[in-house]
Amino acid sequence: MKILVVEDEPDLLRLLAQALRESGYAVDEAADGEEGLYKATVWEYDLVILDLLLPRLNGWDVLQRLRKVRRTPVLILTARDAVQDRVRGLDSGADDYLAKPYHLTELLARVRALIRRSAGQAASEIQIGPLLLDTRSRTVTLSGAAIQLTPREYSLLELLALNRGAIVTRTQIYEHLFEEQEESFSNLVDVHVSNLRRKLGGDFITTRRGQGYLLHD
């Protein structure tokens, strides 16, 4: 899953992006409101983490313009913690609001909740037949046995699981799993799908030629 962090404080941006990457997310960064709005409207993200006090275009304007074209979940992360600011943020289209300073564990929990709820998944566990994904611990079991996946393999499986029963295109996979600065090879998705089939069994993931991949419900 890929997250856009829009934050103008370099140290905070670096630390937050690092924490998210260590938690298994692909992360794109923006240091001002104009850059953040451009990226959030041009590319697909699973979540946008948005500061309010931004140069060039403030967070309120970013949120207002973004909501005209995208339904991407938005978590406001800001030092403005007054009640009226929280109300304004939520009423303006934000999905959640967290004031600085914050506990990283709480931030990550809110990130997980927003991503799964935007996909229509309320519970933190996803059960598909004998396959169980725990989005809190990012672990997978098959018929009760633990399956060891790389972070990228887990992210791909989670993406397919959150969209189970629907075709996920190769373009969607690249947009949701790879960061903007990564050089992604044309067959990299095929490699990860092949690894998942080897570890889970070939019946879980179906290839629809010319369309994408399907994880059966």
Q: How many Å is the maximal CA-CA distance in the chain?
A: 53
Segment-wise mean pLDDT, segments of 10 residues, the chain, 217 residues: 96 96 94 97 95 95 96 93 89 93 94 90 89 94 95 94 92 88 72 92 86 86
**pLDDT of the residue at 48:** 98
Q: What CATH class does 125-215 carry?
A: mainly alpha
Q: Roughly how many angstroms between the first and final C-alpha of the chain, as a whole number? A: 20
Closest by CA to 25, choosing from 208, 154, 170, is 154
Strand pairing report for 205-208 and 145-147:
unpaired
**pLDDT of the residue at 111:** 96
**pLDDT of the residue at 186:** 63
What are the start-end ranges of the E strands in the chain?
2-6, 26-30, 47-50, 74-78, 96-99, 125-128, 131-134, 139-142, 145-147, 167-168, 205-208, 212-215
CA distance 88 to 192: 42
CA distance 211 to 189: 13
Phi, psi of 111 (to 5 degrees): -60, -50
Whether the bond into 55 is cis, omega within 30 of 0 = no
Closest by CA to 204, choosing from 140, 157, 143, 168, is 157
Strand pairing report for 145-147 and 139-142:
antiparallel
Whether the bond into 130 is cis, omega within 30 of 0 = no
Amino acid making up residue 84: Q
**pLDDT of the residue at 185:** 57
Q: How is the chain split into domains, by residue range?
A: 2-118, 125-215
What is the CATH T-level fold of the domain 2-118, as seen in this structure? Answer: Rossmann fold (3.40.50)
3-state secondary structure at position 156: helix
| pTM, rounded to two decimals | 0.88
Cα radius of gyration (the chain)? 18
**pLDDT of the residue at 199:** 94
